[in-house]
Structure formats: C-alpha cells, structure tokens
Structure 1
Amino acid sequence: MTRLVNVDQSLPEQAVLGRGTAFPFSGWAWDARARALRIVLRIGSRVFPAATLRDLRLDVFSTARPPGDDGQVIVSGFWGLAALEEGFPAGRHEVALEVTWDDGATSMKPLGSLSIVAPAPVPALPPGIVPDDAGDGPLIAVCMATYNPGREAFAGQIESIRNQSHANWICIIQDDGSSPEARAAIGAVIGDDPRFLIEDNVRNLGPYRNFERALERVPPQAAYVALSDQDDVWYPSKLQRLLDRLERDDALLAYSDQRIVMADGKVMFETYWTTRDNQYGDLADLLLANTVTGAASLFRRALLDVALPFPVRVGKSFHDHWLACCALAAGRIAYVAEPLYDYVQHGANVVGHCPFPPGDALKLVAKTFGLLPAAVVSVFVRRLRPRVCSVLVNTTTTYYTEYRRLALFAWILRMRIPDLPAGKRRATELFKPAAENHWSLLRHGLFTPARQRRTNHAELRLWSGLMIERGTGWLARTVLALGVRRLAPAIATALDGRRAVAAPPDIVAGNPGVPEHPLLCRRPPRQ
C-alpha cells in the first residue's frame, strides 16, 4: 500500500531558545484508501500536533499528483507550529513526523535532528571605543544594516550620525555581502573612527536576518538601541529627542515622524501620515499593519530580551514590525509628533513610503462570499477560469503567508511574555494557528469605520483568505464525501487553471512565484 508523506520546507538544524521560540511545519499526507486522522511533529520526547488537517493543496494536484489518486490529494495538506518553551532541554534532538491514519496504521518520516542552544553571550565593549568627551549621557548603540549602499547617500547618513547632539554612541554596522567596491566605499567613509564597528556576513542574510545579527552584537554597556538605514539623513537632535520622550513617557520604545524626501532632495511630504492614521496603542492593529518605522526608533536594551531571537521568516517578515509588536506587548510605545529625519525614497528601498488607497469594506466582504459560487461555475464554464483562479491565488496566498506569520508572531509573544495583560492577550488570540477566530477578524474590521485608515482592511483581507481557503477545501471534501470522484479533479483543474498556485510558502525568501502581499507597498528589494 502506497502512502506518501511530504514536508514542504527543511526544518532548522539549530534553534536558539532564549525565552522560547517556535517555527512552522507544513506538508501533505496522502493514501489512496485512508485519510490522516492526526499528524504530529516529534522533537525528542515532545509532540507538537498539526493545527490544521485536510488543507487545500492544489499545488500537489498540479505537480505531484500520485498515481491512482481519485482527488484526495487536493485536501491532503497540514500545518502547525512547534513551540519550544523556555527551559526546553538543550542539546541535539531527533525530529520526525508521525501520521496516524483512519485505518489504524501509523507512518513515521524521519527529519534529521535539531540542536537546541542558548543565546551566545555578547562581549563587552573594549575601552577606548567611545571618546572621553562623549558626555555623561547613556550609551546608545546605533544598529545599521548595509548592502551595496550608494557612496554619496551612505556618506550623508554617516555624517548625520556623527553630528548628533547626543554624543555618547557607537554604530554597529552589519554588512550583508556588499560588492568589493561598495564594501571598500563603506570602509573609506568610516575611516579610522573607532565608534563604527563593522562585521561582514559570511553569506547574504537579507534585511530581516541582517538586522537581527546587528542587534545580537549590542554590547552590555549600551542602555539604548537605535536603528538606522544606510541612506537617510538624521537631524542633529534625533537621538536626544527620542531619548527624552522615552524617559518622559516611561516607554519601552519611542519613534518619530519622518519627512519623505526624494534622492535629489525634493520634499514629497512633510509627514509620513498622508493617507493613513498613526496608531501605536492597539496591539491587534499594530500586528495587522505596522506604523513604527525602524529608522525612526529608539528603544531600551531590555527589549532585546523579548525580541531575540527573531521568529522564523514566514512570507515577508520585517524587523521593525516584530520589534514594535514586542515593545507594545511588553510595555508602552511613545511618539514624537514631528519629523526627526529625512526618509529618502529611491528605487532600492526595501519598503518605501506606503499611502493607503481608499477601500470599501462591504465590497470586499461581498466579493469573498461571491468567490465560492464563482469557483463552482468555473468548473463548467472554461472562460471564467483564468479570472477566478487569479483571485483565488492572491486571496489564499494572503492566508498562507500573512495570517500564518501573524499566528507565529502572536504565539511567540505569548510564550516570551507570560504575564501579558488580558487585553493584549486577546489581541494575539485573533491569530490562532487553527484560525478558529476568523469571525473575530471580520468583526474587528467591519464595525469600526476608522479601521481602513489604520489597517487598510488588513483584517478583512486575512478573513477573506481564510474563508476562501476553507470554502474551497470544503467544496472539494464535500464532492469527495458524496462519492463524485470524477468531479473533484475537475474542480481542482478549474481552480488551478493557470498552474500558478504556489505551495503554502511558510518560509519564503524572495520567491518570485509568490504574489506580493496586497496590504503593503513594495519596491524592488536591495537584497
């Protein structure tokens, strides 16, 4: 009897535990005569059940359909989170996926081993790095991630850091594999200034992991941490103003407004908040749509105890979003309501200035409820298939990437902050791994008129992705349950008519086959 069990992505070989961490696992399990009743990931003696079973897997039907399949492979998917809490035994643990079938049999798929390690200690800053005339203020570590910066723009950023009125700082530069010419330019601009501490990555990590590596290098003497892009221009009082606001409001993180400027110096906007509202007090809204730009931020070093290590990258994860969510979950965020730097726009911005376009919540909800009947009709009307398929791909990709990323963020926040206040805990529970709170997402977005300017209807888009994924899966399962075996492949072929449905991309690093997330503006990435 042929039974197939497949895991979508390689699991990490090593996990830094800290206050706890989690990573997703997903795949598909198929048998011609049985279906999976229970799927668990085993790490050593611990068992982590899959949160969802019988997920839609049109990609498997398209590209890896087993011989003899009568349509069951369409709903063979699973997804879950392996949550390693603080205190999980260190050392190497064997990892395996175990599937229990409805005929009583069990399949075991070995997945190698996972090494659990403690965070590496950060060495103290050697004497002589900070000049004696730096002042009595607290030491601020400015963390900058670089990758092939333009020399002129980089020199402007460095000069603006050197001109800060708060003089007690160091700058940790993490270079992510710049070309030899760009790396030489970085060194030339820095010169022999000992306050700039440069480290080169062995391989390209991307912005998310590159910033994480820079934060891991913050020395114990630094009481505060600021983030810096490689090509903006800070105003001289930026660090001092953020520090004053942080202390005045007893906050964990403070950030400021920013002026939007073109590379030639032309001012586009005097404020970042052109068509969207700034909010930093509602954790659910912050999870849905980040408002805290990394380069605008200063935070207490204690935030690193919560934020590090960063979660596994699911879809398009961003360092400043994760840090902001940690800061609001663990404490308070403060805001300086005036620009403290120029946010320079150009074609290489990882994320540029993103105005929110006007949207209609009721129209989005109506479209969602209309998609499933349209999918059924497209089974029989071939000319409708390309358009229906396009909408389904984009909508379900929102679920596969964005919802599952937020579920991971929320789970880790609850692990690392066990005394999370009740209101903030409820906010994280909007994003449960099994997605049983999808009606809460609908209520969250539909009954508050101001949501569009705060979240761009992100919660409704997530709800739509959930509903379409579940509804299409229900349609396929119903057809199979009724015994109409020949119709199930026809449905899959209709929905997957363009052969464009990607596998659930739990871990995506610039995968061109995964559509851009519709909630965020994206410019061509640097890396």
Structure 2
Amino acid sequence: MQGLGRFHNGDAEAAALRVSPMTPFPDSVAVGGGTALFLDGSCSHASGPIERLWVRLGDSEVEALGWGMPRRGLREGNYWWTIVSIEPVAEPRDEWVTLRARLANGHDLVSRLGTIELLPSLPSPGDPSPAEIEAALNAVNGAEGPLVAVAMATFEPPTELFHRQIESIREQTHGNWICLISDDASTPERVSEMREVLAGDPRFILSLASERSGF
C-alpha cells in the first residue's frame, strides 16, 4: 500500500520497539449500533523519535490523534492516544489491538497490544440464557414438520387464564414448536406463578423486562 512504509518484524529493529498500553483495555465492549473506544499507551524506539503512529482494532485502523507527548511517569515524547471507531458486529468475536509505528528511516514496525471481545450488545438481566434456548431446541429435536415459534406477550396475567393459554399451546397437534414469552415487567409474585405453570417444559422461554414498556 502506497505511503505505508516498509514493514520490518522479527529482526533487531523490531525488537527495539517498546510498546505498552496505559489505560487498561476492557475485557469486552458492547458495540450495539456502533461505538468508539479510547486507547492510549507508550511507544518508543532506540533509534529515535517515532515519526507517525497508527492503532488498529480489528479491521479499523486510525492514526494516533496524539503521539510523542509528555506524560507523567513516562519519558518525554513516549505517550500516545487515539479514539478507534467500532462498527456493529453480528456475533461476539475477539479482536487484536495492534500498533504500527513509523521510524525516521521509513520502516513500519508492528506490535500487538492485546485482545478485546466485541459483543453485539449487553444481555438484559431478564433475557433467557443460551442454555435455556438450547434446552428448548433440544426438546423439539426430531419432531416432524417445520419449527414454529409462538410469540406471547404478558403483563400481570391472571394465573388461571395464563394456565389455560399455556395448556392450549401444549395441546397443539403440530409438535415442532417453541414458545417465546415476553413479559412486560410483571410483579415478582406474578412471575413466580408463571414459572410454576411453565415448570418442567423447556419449550417455553420466558424473557423478563426490567421496566414497563406498555405494549
């Protein structure tokens, strides 16, 4: 790539590059619809000042917004910082944070600083666990016909009516189904009653909202 200099890794010149993060990296980042992450650290080379500096997180590489800066506790000119944009991710994945430093001779040296797990979003405390979802799918594994997902919305359902509705779903002649129940912040007492009705049948997956949405 034009203008990126020459890469030198695995030799004495690369070994003379000293790089370390300053602010500890988070173990994971919930990306959602996209986010940005502040990164900083120190970078120096025995041959002299760093001419330019880039930081890469996954597929996103940005030039450091500041480098060669003073910072308390570091040698003068070793500090760098930047903000990296992170695009939405469909699945959780680990990405390397990589620093690329250009020396006065035009050589680019690359060093890995560590990994960060990128998550699509943070799970809500009331969301069903992966184990619950897997149990529901295992319960209908081998059933005939296409898989059908029944969606049910609840808020403070009378226990008797809720029980009748659940039994109606259980009595369907089509056997390959799971039922997703989204509860709009019912009281703990009512949720407990709902769980008693659903007990022992993993085909029902209960998702609990932390606050009322009013659907």
TM-score by length of 1: 0.22
Answer with 1 or 2: which has the greater Rg: 2
